[in-house]
Structure 1
Amino acid sequence: MTASIKHEPRFRFVDLCAGIGGFHQAMGSLGGKCVGASEINEACIETYRLNFPDTHIYGDISEMENISQIPEFDIVCAGFPCQPFSKAGKQLGFQDRSRGKLFFSILNVIDSHPEVKGFVFENVRNLADNKANWSVICDELKARDFIITEDPLILSPSDFQIPQKRERVFILGIKAAWRDERMLPNSKITVNDLDLRRGSCSKTAALEVLYSDPANDAYVVSDDVEEALLAWDEFRGETGIKTIGFPIWLSHFGIGIKRDSDFFEAMGLSTMPGWKQNYLRHNRHFYQIHRDYIDRWVTRYNMLERNKLLQKFEWNCGEDAADIKHGLVQIRQSGVRVKRPDLFPTLVAMPNTPIVWDTVLGHFRRISPKEAARLQSFEDFYKFGGSDSQTYRQLGNAVNVEIARQLGKGLLRLIREERNDGE
């Protein structure tokens, strides 16, 4: 009987602030073995365990008493929390006493493992816009003798023919003693050193990720939402909206008020900030031009009785979509927004899933979790725990697998086979 041969992994990595395992899938595809993961969100941990049951999960890395007990590894992967740096939050950065300090917990892991060769970190784009935060990160890493991407490396899935606009900043580093001078002759890592395989998306790329699964009416939008979307499409056609440069807000029309001065006084125009004054004036002028049609349209579709979010409309397609059924729809706090069919808007960690027209079902529907997973480059066999809502949130927080894979591949090509202790 022939004994089975166990192949040694190409490298070992630790997965910190691991989420649902985007880095794990990427590094595993390059021949890496994960020696342990850290995550605190229970729903994410459930998904991680479904896909990587043999990986030990340490929980909150900042509360580990002996981080040196983590088995030896070559590469650190970390998508440390973005909320302290996101434009959607308070932007407290490293002053956020809980999540902002996790970067230093990651440094503690590095300090306790002198064998580490390099790292790949991911965060929101806004992190690189704050020079103070960026300087802290660069200074701390260079003080540990890492050669790093000092110039912010901003990448989106759309740079790799994946139809999602989602800019994130990636920080890469190699311990100076481990760099291959032939591949990395300079004192910092540049995007050219990484030899990334990039490509652009076609004008209809976003719609090409759809319809590969049987039609599922579980994701069809409510009748109220569909009626409003179709009503806005009629509105757009009848009023000739193509490249209008401001959002349409029904509350800014002054429906039923004849005199502009009466409406502006009732709205408190003089006390508004300048941008809102412009919106109000543009909307009022638009209404006056199309008053007869708009009055009939509002009554016919009961538009003023609908949810406030459905009373606002933005057409961002120009002439690249024939109608709303050929665009990508998002319902946000700013209202109904219709985007071009080339790139999906950024998946976010909240129930704000893009909406498409399903030609098979004949209805508008939200993209499915599997379609959302494809936008983050997760394999179709990837398993998700919990509800669909939880899955969307998890994917909204996840690192894009293809970007992580390419960066991991680029980083590994810059590392020498044997350490040079003379450096």
Structure 2
Amino acid sequence: MVEYISTKEIADRWGITSACVSAKCAAGQIPGAYKKGRTWLIPSEAKRPIDKRVNSEKKEEHKFTFIDLFAGIGGFHQAMRYLGGKCIMASEINAVCVETYKLNYKTKDVRGDIRKIEADSIGKFDVLCAGFPCQPFSKAGLQKGFDEDRGNMFFNIMRILDGHPEVKFIILENVRNLADKEDNWNIIKTELMKRNFFITEKPVILSPSNFGLPQIRERVYILCIRKDLRDTSVLTNDYIHIRDLGLDGIQFKDNCKMGDAFSILEENAPDQYIIDEEREEMILAWEEFRKGTGIGVIGYPIWIKSFGYNIADEREFLESQDYENIPDWKKKFVVNNRKLYLANKDFIDAWIKKHNMLDRIKLYQKFEWNCGTDVTDIHNAIIQIRQSGIRVKRPTYYPALVAIVNTPIIYDKKKKHFRYITPREAANLQNFDRRFKFVGTDKQIYRQLGNSVNVTILKKLGKKLFSFEIDQHERDGE
């Protein structure tokens, strides 16, 4: 007996839209499909029809080939494919990322540990892409740089590059902190230049927010072109300059406005992303506190432990804070919290009792309002619950997605509850294709996206970099 499934189910399987499936049914391209009312039913074993448009595109020769090192889930791949590239080899050590990569791309040669890959085992390619390990340069990784073994992964990139003199371009990505230590940058610059590449004069620091994309996520990009390929009318010395890339006036400038953060939200998020009752209670409790104390522009975090609740004597209060032994910046916070408490003592005492705040975990006893007077209601803000407390910011852009999961929270008007942004919405922040499919738990998916590169930025940088190549006819002297 033939089993039938819906257009949505078959669309998900084939990686196309439901509307496209319906059109193919109407055109008689799917044998056995029939219409019941307004809905098409398709045999579960149906094969995807050959798309003549896709075939004609496949006949066209790709513009360039590339390899994708430290590939993650393929942010580089999406950008290069968009620009006309074909991936001939990818390398990624994380098993879940590899599974995700294989699900979304047709690259047959997906390998593991780069240290085990011999350069001569890779076919010829034009572009080397690598988002090499960031931990040696990140604040979380103690910024050991090339003194740490993971930092030496850069030299594995150089080893592969040495086996492929045909490479035309290199695109590297890493954390913002890579640019902070001149010694690290000098090593990278020296290694690339001695291999006959023009490179960016300095590490190019860019965030999606520079381009109006609602995420603050500064990353370093290093772009290289082989010297003999450069257009000398554009690249006149040993470097690629910011002005050459058309980034003057864009770098270090946030081009997001109020409300842009909500542009990445999906219409109907699953209920599973609604936060738990206690978290919602705490968010609303702090909103009550904010309005009750009249907080607007405030330059310090609010700490209940620094109120001096039920302490009348100032000396006793300072002793409770170990005031003499704390750094000056913390002394200022303590003094400001005490002033806030004393100015609103009756309200705050009642508020603490009402919400049982002294028995809450420590992160619920801390609050940061970073909206000034631009936001009048916490329901219209972006929220994060961190070890430093409940942090509320303007809805211009989201804080950086990070591999250490710390998912932003928004208020969903339809559900009338606060919820986390979904994995699909996190993918929107990284400008991943809407057809992209994930593997793993939500925690793994957030981590994958936190480790990934922003696709739109790479599209823009790649397009500009490739434009620096001199025309083949000019190269041949014609």
Tell me which structure has the larger Cα radius of gyration.
2
Partner Cα distance (2:276, 2:335) in 1: 33
Runs (5+) with no aligned partner, structure 1: none
In the other structure, the counterpart of 2:74 is: 21
1:41 aligned onto 2:94: yes
Following TM superposition, by how much is the alpha carbon of 1:368 offset from its aligned partner in structure 2, in angstroms?
Answer: 0.5
In the other structure, the counterpart of 1:170 is: 221
Following TM superposition, by how much is the alpha carbon of 1:420 offset from its aligned partner in structure 2, in angstroms?
Answer: 4.9
Q: After superposition, where does 1:348-359 map in structure 2 within 5 Å?
A: 348-359=402-413
Partner Cα distance (1:235, 1:348) in 2: 30
In the other structure, the counterpart of 2:108 is: 55
Match of 1:126 among 177, 186, 202: 177
Following TM superposition, by how much is the alpha carbon of 1:200 offset from its aligned partner in structure 2, in angstroms?
Answer: 2.2
SS at structure 2 position matched to 1:238? helix
SS at structure 1 position matched to 2:59? coil
Following TM superposition, by how much is the alpha carbon of 1:63 offset from its aligned partner in structure 2, in angstroms?
Answer: 2.0
Partner Cα distance (2:66, 2:269) in 1: 39
SS at structure 1 position matched to 2:77? helix
Following TM superposition, by how much is the alpha carbon of 1:307 offset from its aligned partner in structure 2, in angstroms?
Answer: 1.9
Following TM superposition, by how much is the alpha carbon of 1:398 offset from its aligned partner in structure 2, in angstroms?
Answer: 0.3
Following TM superposition, by how much is the alpha carbon of 1:40 offset from its aligned partner in structure 2, in angstroms?
Answer: 0.4
Summarize deviations over 1:70-118 as a string: whole Å, max 9, x none. 1111111100011100012211101111x11100000111111000011
Would the aligned equivalents of 1:177 and 1:421 in 2 still touch at CA under 8 Å? Answer: no
In the other structure, the counterpart of 2:300 is: 246
Would the aligned equivalents of 2:120 and 2:163 in 1 still touch at CA under 8 Å? Answer: yes
Would the aligned equivalents of 2:200 and 2:241 in 1 still touch at CA under 8 Å? Answer: yes
In the other structure, the counterpart of 2:389 is: 335
Structure 1 moving runs of 4+ over 3 Å: 2-5, 195-199, 417-422
Partner Cα distance (1:309, 1:273) in 2: 21
Following TM superposition, by how much is the alpha carbon of 1:251 offset from its aligned partner in structure 2, in angstroms?
Answer: 1.0
1:204 aligned onto 2:259: yes
SS at structure 2 position matched to 1:170? strand
Would the aligned equivalents of 2:90 and 2:107 in 1 still touch at CA under 8 Å? Answer: no
SS at structure 2 position matched to 1:37? strand
In the other structure, the counterpart of 2:16 is: none
TM-score by length of 1: 0.95
Partner Cα distance (1:336, 1:266) in 2: 23
SS at structure 2 position matched to 1:169? strand
Would the aligned equivalents of 2:92 and 2:113 in 1 still touch at CA under 8 Å? Answer: yes
SS at structure 2 position matched to 1:101? helix
What is the Cα-based RMSD across aligned positions, in Å?
1.8
Partner Cα distance (1:370, 1:193) in 2: 35
Following TM superposition, by how much is the alpha carbon of 1:280 offset from its aligned partner in structure 2, in angstroms?
Answer: 1.2
Partner Cα distance (2:448, 2:135) in 1: 14
1:84 aligned onto 2:84: no
Summarize deviations over 1:193-250 as a string: whole Å, max 9, x none. 223696922221001221x332421100010000000000011011111111100011
Would the aligned equivalents of 1:166 and 1:346 in 2 still touch at CA under 8 Å? Answer: yes
Partner Cα distance (2:344, 2:245) in 1: 55
SS at structure 2 position matched to 1:62? helix
Partner Cα distance (1:298, 1:107) in 2: 59
Following TM superposition, by how much is the alpha carbon of 1:278 offset from its aligned partner in structure 2, in angstroms?
Answer: 1.5
Following TM superposition, by how much is the alpha carbon of 1:192 offset from its aligned partner in structure 2, in angstroms?
Answer: 2.3
Identity %: 51
In the other structure, the counterpart of 2:23 is: none
1:67 aligned onto 2:141: no
In the other structure, the counterpart of 2:11 is: none
Would the aligned equivalents of 1:79 and 1:122 in 2 still touch at CA under 8 Å? Answer: yes
AA at the equivalent of 1:345: P
Partner Cα distance (1:87, 1:15) in 2: 25
TM-score by length of 2: 0.85
Would the aligned equivalents of 1:309 and 1:332 in 2 still touch at CA under 8 Å? Answer: yes
In the other structure, the counterpart of 2:157 is: 106
Summarize deviations over 1:296-338 as a string: whole Å, max 9, x none. 0011011112221111000000111111111100111111110
AA at the equivalent of 2:293: T
Partner Cα distance (2:128, 2:435) in 1: 26
Would the aligned equivalents of 2:88 and 2:107 in 1 still touch at CA under 8 Å? Answer: no
AA at the equivalent of 1:135: N
Would the aligned equivalents of 1:15 and 1:36 in 2 still touch at CA under 8 Å? Answer: yes
Would the aligned equivalents of 2:303 and 2:365 in 1 still touch at CA under 8 Å? Answer: yes
SS at structure 2 position matched to 1:100? helix
In the alignment of these two chains, the number of paired residues is: 418
